[in-house]
Amino acid sequence: MALNLTPDSALDAERELCRRSFPYFIRRAWSSIIPDRLQWNWHIDAIGEHLQAVQRGEINRLLVNVPPGTSKSTIIGVKFPAWLWGPAGDPSHRYIGAAHEQGLAVRDNRLMRELVLSPWYQRLWPTSLKGDQNEKLYFENDSRGFRQACAVKSMTGRRGHTVAWDDPLSPEKASSPTERETALRVLSETVPTRLNDPATSAILVIMQRLHENDPSGHILASELGYEHVCIPMEFEPSRRIYTSIGWTDPRTEEGELLDPVRFPQHVIDRDKKAMGSYAWAGQMQQRPSPMGGGIFKDEWWQYYKIAPAIEWRAIYVDTAQKTKQENDFTVFQCWGRSKEGRAIMLDQVRGKWEAPELLVQARAFWAKHKDSHPAPLRAVKIEDKVSGTGLIQTLKREGGVPVVAIQRDKDKLTRALDTVAFIESGNVLLPEQASWLSDFLAEASVFPNGAHDDQIDPAMDAITDICQQRAEVRVRGL
């Protein structure tokens, strides 16, 4: 039976439905600011339900990892603060929206203001904006609620009930340690100080994964108490998550698509090829390394219980610049070249040592291997940079240890790619029972997107050495 609603009762019903359901509000508000037709999908419900739990006070730390192009910014940065002011009955709510680039934050600020001033919104939740505070970076309503936009690096001044961080890093800058360290510093030191009430105010982080040690990686590894909503483009059952509000990814089949209407299979295949496995794994799968490894595939490594016959050995060293918790380790590795020309990793030690202890470790590792094998130990090869330079100078001055300074004239990625064919051909052997093996494989698997690469650097030096000698042997045999 059809309901004959008066205009006033229809507005009351609309208000009530929007109050009860933020996802419903998203549907109804969409056309007020966005001309394109809304393509609804279950992931919008998922994000909306978790944001509604934030409003209820059930969640005050929320991390959402979703692919680009899924309306995440519009949902969190535009619709959510407008819903708080209107349907949720919290017009005094103070909302700070930040992004890696101020222009993006300003865009969402402007769109929210347009939504609040739209005829549809004003008819249901009449809201006045203060004339002297109605700017692109900041606007305030007549209940003293405000919406502020800022770049990550300039998140200072005001405090909010909600601080939302949308894409803390760009894909172009995520490979920069400096940019990542800046983002992590803001997350740890700045964002918590921008909360109106540290006990109840909310922090929202929404982003695509770009690096193992991006803000999402830091949040998860440090167990900072964030509710985690992770929605990959292609479903991976082994990574299914369950959240505190009872939500889980509704997909059931391996590879099932997030939104086959907006992102059909032929689009997925095209974009996966164009982006490459590393970018796809992070930005689309929310896993900043491809399945089976990144540049170095897991199945390429070979293993031994008893090392094959070796012609010569050398020690390769990568020294850390600093010894803080977040910095890389210093690594000593002993490698050998087999009679067939293969690279055999024999031993490794890894730690964080200041200069005096670093020298002690270098002497001890040389002494350990000097006479441990009939194959000659040729040299200790150390990158001539920062603390490595001091170690080279001291060992040369003392004598007794043949030291070779390494000048790395290529970036890490190029050096790694130079060794790929050799490793893929099964020419690198690792000791299958070494205590450090799992850490080495884990680091290799996520390279170049891992938090550390200290074990990979000396390994690439060793493999390059052995590859070059192998090539020289072939040339002499021509």
Separation of alpha carbons 126 and 114, rounded Å:
13
Separation of alpha carbons 325 and 372, rounded Å:
33
Separation of alpha carbons 350 and 438, rounded Å:
13
Separation of alpha carbons 178 and 168, rounded Å:
13
First-to-final CA distance of the chain: 92
Separation of alpha carbons 137 and 97, rounded Å:
10
Say how many residues make up the chain. 478
DSSP state of 153: G
Domain boundaries, the chain: 9-284, 298-476
Separation of alpha carbons 368 and 363, rounded Å:
9
Q: Strand, coil or helix: what is 26?
A: helix
Angle between helices 456-476 and 412-424 (to 10 degrees): 60
Separation of alpha carbons 64 and 430, rounded Å:
38
Reading the chain (478 residues) residue by residue, the pLDDT tens digits are 455 678 788 899 999 999 999 999 999 999 988 888 888 999 999 999 999 999 999 999 999 999 999 999 999 999 999 999 999 999 999 999 998 888 888 999 999 999 999 999 999 999 999 866 667 889 999 999 999 998 766 666 789 999 999 999 888 888 788 888 889 999 999 899 999 999 999 999 999 998 888 999 999 989 899 999 999 999 999 889 999 999 999 999 999 999 999 999 999 999 988 887 778 888 999 988 755 556 788 889 999 999 999 999 999 999 987 655 456 789 999 999 999 999 999 999 999 998 889 999 999 999 999 998 999 999 999 998 888 999 999 999 998 899 999 988 887 878 888 888 899 889 999 999 999 999 999 889 888 777 778 999 999 999 999 988 754 544 344 3
| CATH among 3.40.1350.10, 3.40.50.300, 1.20.1420.20, 3.30.2020.30 for 9-284 | 3.40.50.300
At residue 154, what is the residue type? S
Q: Strand, coil or helix: what is 324?
A: coil
Q: Strands (DSSP E) along 172-211, which ranges?
A: 202-207
Separation of alpha carbons 73 and 222, rounded Å:
25
Separation of alpha carbons 160 and 95, rounded Å:
5
- Strand pairing of 302-304 and 129-134? unpaired
Domain 298-476 class in CATH: alpha beta
Separation of alpha carbons 316 and 335, rounded Å:
8
SS3 content of the chain, % helix, strand, coil (to 5): 40, 20, 40
